[in-house]
Copies of this chain bind each other. A is one copy, B any other.
């Protein structure tokens, strides 16, 4: 019929709770028109945007970052074709990084079993490349890392 869908439908098809969809809308990640009764009506393309959001989170992006990515797209559209392959390029890199990190951890883990070490100030594992200091309050900003775990400040 019409190509506008209700929030319940979007929720059902995406698996994302309606409350979360409203929240996303509040953040400007998605947009809707309103029906006569003031109900949200989403264009079908919203499903792609939501998919994008879900995928992005799955690879560890924050909603802030997602917002930044989505902002690059033309108004109201979900990512497709060109756009999509551009966006996903960055993702692939991201995923690879994370995989690499996990593999380092994995290997190091096994190594540590052998050497019996595990002292933070000596173990390579605990000091992956960067030794940047922690920043700001708030939870786990540094873990899994806005780039780093700072096991040895100075």
* Interface residue ranges, A against B (CB under 8 Å): 12-15, 17, 47-48, 50-52, 54-55, 57-62, 65, 78-81, 84-85, 88, 91-92, 94-99, 101-103, 105-106, 109-110, 112-113, 116, 118-121, 123, 125-127, 131, 133-134, 140, 143-147, 149-154
Contacts and interface: CB of A to CB of B under 8 A. Distances in A.
Nearest to A154: B147
A101 B97 CA distance: 14
A123 B140 CA distance: 32
A94 B51 contact: no
A126 B13 CA distance: 11
A84 B57 contact: no
A51 B118 contact: yes
